[in-house]
Structure 1
Amino acid sequence: MHPTPMRGTLQRGAATAAILSAALCVPAHAQSEVADTEASAAEETAVHDIMVTARRRSESAQDIPLAVSVIDARQIDATGAFNVARLQQLAPTLQFYSSNPRNTAVNIRGLGVPFGLTSDGFEQGVGIYVDDVYYSRVASATFDFLDVAQIEVLRGPQGTLYGNNTTAGAINIQTNQPSFDLEGRAEISLGNYAFRQARLAVSGPLSETVAARIAFSGTSRDGTIRNVVTGEDIQSLDNLGLRAQLLWEPADSLRVKLVGDYNRQDAVCCGSVFVGTGATQRPLNRQYAALAAAQGYAPPSTDPFDRLTDLDSRLNAGNVIAGLALKVEWDVGPGTLTSVTAWRTWDWQPENDRDFNGLPIVTLSQNPSQQDQFTQEFRYAYEGDTVDFVIGAFAFDQRIDTQGTEQHGPASSRWTINPANPLSGDPTVLDGLTARNTQVLESTSLALFGQLSWAITDAFTLQPGLRLNYDRKSGFYERRVFTGTGAELSGSETDARSLAQLGVFRPQVSAPEDSDWNLTYDLTASYEVAPDVLAYGTYARSFKTIGINQNGLPTDAGGQPIAAAGTIRPETVDHFEVGLKSQFWDRRVTLNLAAFRTDIRDYQATVNNGQFGVLRGFLANAGKVRSQGIEADFSVRPSERFSAYANAAYTDAKYVRFTDAPCPPELAGGTTAAPGQVPSAPGTPGGISPANCDISGQRLPGVSKWAFSFGAEGNFPTEFLGKPGEIYLGYDGSYRSNFSSNASPSVYTNIDGYHLSNFRAGFRSDDGLDLFVWVRNAFDADYFEQVFVGPGNTGLIAGLPGDPRTWGATASITF
């Protein structure tokens, strides 16, 4: 790339550095070192370049015309952001919601995946990459980061440089690489709730041409919710990770790296607490209060922040993700040819309580899955005086097998069957009723992509990109239904007992499949307005590929599956963005701004019909959604003794057109309105419910209009344990305004905004020792990560409280 002009002068900041050092009481020996030369003073206090690989080559984050947040290993360790869930407290444009590892949403700017229960039949809109390897299972976001060097959160479509097409952004994780010098790091943390975390990484040479690196991470913690039925503390942590790398460099121009990783979770997870109830349009005797009273049931607490639950089904979130990758980099002529070959596997062994209460309504709910994924990527990256380019090819092949079981218990008849039906009083009707589901998904994606960067002048650069994609998906779903006596139902039975059972589970077979070609493109223009000031503008036409309904099809009024709902149209994405990247005060201050608008047609939404028999939501196309907003990232480092940051995001994300959405609970459960009938007012017992609801103009779920992250750290030179170093005090805060926790906004599922504060204080020696104490959610704020609408339109609202105040201490040594 054409060289950029100098970023200011070192001399201009030298006097300021000396004055600040004196004002902050820096010892005389430090002041004399600053006074040695003006250049060295400015070098010590200036903000150094943050190098990123967002465009598949190493370059300064301030030089790329792209909105990207960079979190390095030191910030990750200091703030306890050891997985993506905690990363969102540092990156306000990132949203993370998880009711269990499989049902996890990672969104950027409110976009990525539809909010709610996950289906295997659609792609993620936010790609997760670890050292160039695409992780298709979003469950990987719930694991601990392992030996990470830095994380880049890229905002906006990333299709012309990255292996898999992503419409909302990417999380690009770079790990520490094998070294030919012996080095390592060890860390241990202890805290309340029996929190224990240990990390170890060691790297060094095996020969003159071979180096190795091995890393380990283990995290455990007691749960934060007490189950009064089992005596267990649920929502615990039990994570284990191993990563081994072998690097062979037979020549300066050739690097071959083999990587293997294994990650396991075995937590007592995942459950919920009682949040409250809301009136629906079901008859009054079929709403939560009446149904609970009829069986003499009351939740253990009506205050969700008592953190008590009474779930009576076994909970488990057994989860293993592992893989192998071979990366080859060969310098060929003026560029580098890269090949990344990877295999990944995922084994998911869940058990849940799907009725969200202590009654034996649903006594067994589990959908274990196994996935195998193969990817192959080739790239050639060229860097010239005025032209850079990357061209590549990507292949993805995936198979997922799922075996589902859901079983009802003796309390289900009274809870599920209409009280007007005499069978509702017979617990044997639904006791033992079991649905056994078999699913298979095969998915293939092939792509050619490329991006050119042309420096027309020293200041003005054009960057066009292009991607051609082919996708094919085929699925199979079968549900077989068995009574408590073991007899299989065919679905054609007409006796009253069988009809009551078929009202819960009905046999079904479907085999949706589809394929699609798609051509997408983007264009970015950037202009260096002044040294250290870069303006840019981007237009991108992107897409999310076809989806299929892999968890069974919705049924018509006669209970028959709707075959036309088997496949889902691809999303079409139009993305506009303008931004400004700037540094001043000799690069001690960084201020980056971005404004964006993303329009999506045929948005792939998740729909739940509220019945016990639906184990997962099904997919449908909403007409159009839009996300637009403004983001600002600010950091300042006036001296080596102080640094601060503040990041902000305003996101206005809404359904522009969704006229046939599922209704929120306050408008559901009544008699379906006939043509010409006027639906009843929300929450009218026994009322008339619309068949569908028009939620056009309402906010997308899971996204706050306002989100902020902010923090500072100050230090002072001292000596401790005979070691020279610095004592430090740090603070990190975050705020998110209210958001909706249901696909169709409901007054019952709005989550209030909340603010979290984290503090740390410790000693950091010059030779790599770090000792500090920490407290997270220091003011013990009560907040929800999610709330859920209970099945059956009874008006039950359950939820998942966020972590309470936690505290502990960490010791680490780097050598």
Structure 2
Amino acid sequence: MSRKLNMAGISLAALMTALPQVAVAQQAPQEQEIVVTAQRRSERLIDVPASITAISAETLTKSGINNTADLAKAVPGIAMTFYGGFLQPAVRGITSTGANLGENSNVAMYVDGVYQPQQIATLIDLPDIQQVEVLKGPQGALYGQNATGGAILVTSMAPSFTPHGNFSASYGAYNDVSVRGYVTAPLSDTIAASLSGGYQNRDGFRRHVITNQRDKGLDSKVIRGKLLFQPSTEAKITLTGYYSDREDSATYAGFAINGNSIGYAPNLAGIGLPSIPIPASPQIRNPSQFATDPNVFTRIRSAGGNARGEFDVGAGIVTSVTSYSENKTNYRNDGDYSAVDIGTATANFLRSHYFIQDMNFASRKFGSVSFLVGGFYLNGAESFDNNNFDLLFPSVPPAPTTILFTASSQNARVDKEIIAGYGEATLQATDRIVLTAGGRYTREKQRAFSDRAIFTPGGTAVKVPNQVEYPGGAVVFSKFTPRITARYEITPRSNVYASWGQGFKSGIVNSTDFTIAPVKPETINAYEIGYKGVPIPGVRFNIAAFLYDYKNLQSVVYVPGSAYITQNAATARIKGVDFDVSWSVTPSFTLTGSGSFLDGKYRNFPGAVNYTPTGTGHVVSTIDLSGQRMLRSPKFSGNISANYEIDTGIGRFAAFGSIFHTASYGMEPTGRLRQNPYTTIDAEISLSPDALNGARFVLWGKNLTNKAYLASALIAGGFSDGGSYADPRTYGIRAEFRF
């Protein structure tokens, strides 16, 4: 690791030495300032003492980033993979491992300043987004619990008193139809409105290995309306309402990795059942095929509204965000991941509803001091109406399925109440030195209810007539998470900084087994030093080195027919370097690049669950993973992109291309299931004709080399090693219009 970091440092030093000569020769223009809200106020990116990647709407479109799962293409140091149908972001090796009821991602997601508590709801389509900010490192001081890895801040387009809008329509491979739009206009001198949304529908990417039918494909709809009331320059209130409905089969239309599945056994005796014969079925040899039940899918429906008020009270800005949201998810997953229907997991429905109030006051500067103080309140619940694992009489599609018996059924609920107070103070110690100290105290109360409250020693669920509460009653998790930073201004557009901070991921009550004590919160201590700025005209460069001490990692064991069980399992240490650079070579040509070198290892992880594949399932044992690399933590990942634009006799021509590469990484804690190194290439060329003002026509392509790599991996203990591939090569045409 040290040798690679040294080589990276030498390469970066050489790059920085060479850039001034080339940039001066080309007389590149000054970069426009990037403004972010990472510290809950609008600031220049270079002035924020933290590692942040800000992605504009234009970059999202050019890079082919359609939803949050695509963000890894443009952000160094993150991986976006699925655990079954649950998106689990990993930022610098910090990631979740399961999806128990009430369990949150440890990378916090915010949309228009509103926290998204439910883990499955972190998969968000991005048809009307103004900017995405990815904050790397624990954000416990300002963004609270469940931000140990970082936070992703999504900002959608806002209403304006200047009428304008944009529309796009695209058609691509697999009958991919996509329409997006945004329009805004004033309704009066003090009221403006906007309406935005998107629709996408496409066929499935893969064909069933027996029936040759495609998987169900994607059908996604998003609509968002906003109303801005601005009675004066000192006050504005924005009301937002939204609805989304996303049904996709891609993450569950999969196969048994390395052919390991009960579906390839001669009979069901291996899982303790009578020797019922299993029909022969082919294994997947081609990434264009899938083996699971053709009817697998995940459907996520979300609706909600929020009111955001911003008031200039002279001494500073008061911001209040009040929101209510509801999510309803159902899914069907083939637990054996073979072409034989043997076990099916369904949820009808996984629900959540949350009320959130967040208010803060950001002061103006009083002499050399400014401060921010705020409070946060959340109240809501997640519930399974019916969470079943059915064992089926073995059959091969298109034959109908017959349920032998329901091996597991659960109706459960987790209630949550969170109260937090946060603040920070900033001191301009000298003309060039800025010191900041802050923190957040969080108290989270959980109450868990289940109709499957205990297990017998053999693992059989004991049902109770109605939901019962966890015998200990309400469980409380609390933590103070501080952060201290120091920033030194080298020039008005260049800074170095150092920071120390803490974060924690909240604890969990295992609603599937109340005999297990509540899982303790994860905690992290983080140290970071970095440089960010514009060292020479036309070049923007950011680099950060970090060290994390990580304790009480939560790990999940999945047993079909039994339960998801979450336990505290390990301590870890993570260290690394990530960087990004943007170079305006000429007014027409821009190069950008980013990379992350990561060394994340378990320091102490004895007794980790180990699923040894048998070819027809697993033998379960324990293993000591101390000293092994953490899951979803590639040694290197990075991207390079180029953008060229030039005016011609018929209009403005543009070409964009990007290359993303990652080293291999484990898809589960032991690293047995691994994603091999891979590289993808995305590109587009466009023309904005002079004869059609505001129009742009685009030819686009994604994953142009048709690289097959895993999007999802799931160990269905005893049944299979299941996985699904990411999107294959896609391409198409798009027409855009702005006014």
Deviations 1:438-468 (A, max 9, x none): 1011011100000112111111010101111
Change (3 A) 1:364 1:118: closer
Which of 433, 441, 448 is matched with 1:468 structurally?
441
Whole-angstrom CA distance in 2 between matches of 1:465 and 1:225: 50
Which of 27, 34, 41 is matched with 1:50 structurally?
34
Change (3 A) 1:763 1:283: closer
Change (3 A) 1:804 1:147: same
- Aligned ranges 1:408-807 → 2 under 5 Å: 408-411=391-394, 431-479=404-452, 506-507=462-463, 511-512=469-470, 513-550=474-511, 552-553=512-513, 563=515, 565-586=516-537, 588-608=538-558, 611-614=559-562, 616-666=563-613, 691-720=621-650, 725-746=651-672, 749-764=673-688, 767-792=693-718, 796-807=720-731
User: Is residue 74 of structure 1 aligned with residue 58 of structure 2?
Assistant: yes
Whole-angstrom CA distance in 2 between matches of 1:515 and 1:634: 44
**Structure 2 partner of 1:496:** none
Query: Secondary structure of the equivalent of 1:625?
Result: strand
Kept in 2: contact 1:665–1:789 (CA 8 A): no
Deviations 1:568-611 (A, max 9, x none): 1112211111111131332x011111011111211111122xx4
Whole-angstrom CA distance in 1 between matches of 2:625 and 2:160: 55
**Structure 2 partner of 1:266:** 247
**Structure 2 partner of 1:275:** 257
Query: Secondary structure of the equivalent of 1:311?
Result: coil
Whole-angstrom CA distance in 2 between matches of 1:133 and 1:437: 30
- Aligned ranges 1:241-260 → 2 under 5 Å: 241-260=222-241
Kept in 2: contact 1:660–1:694 (CA 8 A): yes
Query: Secondary structure of the equivalent of 2:610?
Result: coil
Whole-angstrom CA distance in 1 between matches of 2:408 and 2:290: 30
Kept in 1: contact 2:612–2:621 (CA 8 A): no
Kept in 1: contact 2:240–2:305 (CA 8 A): yes
- Aligned ranges 1:206-221 → 2 under 5 Å: 206-221=187-202
Kept in 2: contact 1:304–1:801 (CA 8 A): no
Query: Secondary structure of the equivalent of 2:585?
Result: strand
Change (3 A) 1:691 1:800: closer
- Aligned ranges 1:30-49 → 2 under 5 Å: 45-49=29-33
**Structure 1 partner of 2:111:** 130
Deviations 1:546-568 (A, max 9, x none): 21112x12xxxxxxx7x1x2401
Q: Displacement of 1:124 after TM fit? A: 2.2
Q: Which amino acid aligns with 2:382?
A: I
Change (3 A) 1:62 1:777: same
Q: Displacement of 1:505 after TM fit? A: 5.3
Kept in 2: contact 1:339–1:378 (CA 8 A): yes
Whole-angstrom CA distance in 2 between matches of 1:455 and 1:235: 58
Kept in 2: contact 1:300–1:310 (CA 8 A): no
Q: Which amino acid aligns with 1:698?
A: Q
Deviations 1:414-444 (A, max 9, x none): xxxxxxxxxxxxx99x823453311011011
Which of 112, 127, 133 is matched with 2:95 structurally?
112
- Aligned ranges 1:234-245 → 2 under 5 Å: 234=215, 236-245=217-226
**Structure 1 partner of 2:4:** none
Deviations 1:632-653 (A, max 9, x none): 1111002221001110001112
**Structure 1 partner of 2:3:** none
Kept in 1: contact 2:293–2:341 (CA 8 A): no
Change (3 A) 1:214 1:19: same
Query: Secondary structure of the equivalent of 1:77?
Result: helix
Whole-angstrom CA distance in 2 between matches of 1:471 and 1:14: 52
Q: Which amino acid aligns with 2:496?
A: A
Q: Which amino acid aligns with 2:682?
A: N
Query: Secondary structure of the equivalent of 1:300?
Result: coil
Whole-angstrom CA distance in 1 between matches of 2:620 and 2:163: 68
Which of 142, 147, 156 is matched with 1:161 structurally?
142
**Structure 1 partner of 2:290:** 308
Bigger share in strand: 2
Kept in 1: contact 2:332–2:344 (CA 8 A): no
Q: Pairwise CA RMSD of aligned residues?
A: 3.2
Whole-angstrom CA distance in 1 between matches of 2:678 and 2:307: 44
Query: Secondary structure of the equivalent of 2:435?
Result: strand
Kept in 2: contact 1:299–1:310 (CA 8 A): no
Q: Displacement of 1:216 after TM fit? A: 1.5
Query: Secondary structure of the equivalent of 1:578?
Result: strand
Deviations 1:241-288 (A, max 9, x none): 0000000011221101100010001334532123324699x9999899
Deviations 1:610-638 (A, max 9, x none): x4313x52110013122211101111002
Whole-angstrom CA distance in 2 between matches of 1:279 and 1:324: 44
Whole-angstrom CA distance in 1 between matches of 2:170 and 2:634: 32
Q: Which amino acid aligns with 1:645?
A: T
Query: Which deviates the most, 373-382 or 520-529?
Result: 520-529
Q: Which amino acid aligns with 2:707?
A: A
Q: Which amino acid aligns with 1:309?
A: A
Q: Displacement of 1:123 after TM fit? A: 2.8
Query: Secondary structure of the equivalent of 2:393?
Result: coil
Whole-angstrom CA distance in 2 between matches of 1:124 and 1:302: 32
Kept in 1: contact 2:304–2:325 (CA 8 A): yes
Query: Which deviates the most, 84-93 or 643-652?
Result: 84-93
Change (3 A) 1:286 1:262: closer
Q: Which amino acid aligns with 2:560?
A: F
Change (3 A) 1:399 1:293: closer
Q: Displacement of 1:668 after TM fit? A: 12
Change (3 A) 1:151 1:346: same
Whole-angstrom CA distance in 1 between matches of 2:455 and 2:556: 26
Whole-angstrom CA distance in 1 between matches of 2:461 and 2:425: 54
Whole-angstrom CA distance in 1 between matches of 2:455 and 2:541: 64
Q: Which amino acid aligns with 2:726?
A: G
Deviations 1:535-555 (A, max 9, x none): 1111112222221112x12xx
Whole-angstrom CA distance in 2 between matches of 1:293 and 1:717: 73
Whole-angstrom CA distance in 2 between matches of 1:491 and 1:661: 21
Deviations 1:108-156 (A, max 9, x none): 1121322xx4112333211111111111123333231131111110011
Q: Which amino acid aligns with 1:201?
A: Y
Q: Which runs of 5+ in 2 are unaligned?
A: 1-18, 396-400
Kept in 2: contact 1:95–1:106 (CA 8 A): yes
Q: Which has the larger radius of gyration?
A: 1
**Structure 2 partner of 1:143:** 124
Q: TM-score, normalised by structure 1?
A: 0.81
Query: Secondary structure of the equivalent of 1:662?
Result: strand
How many residues get paired? Answer: 705
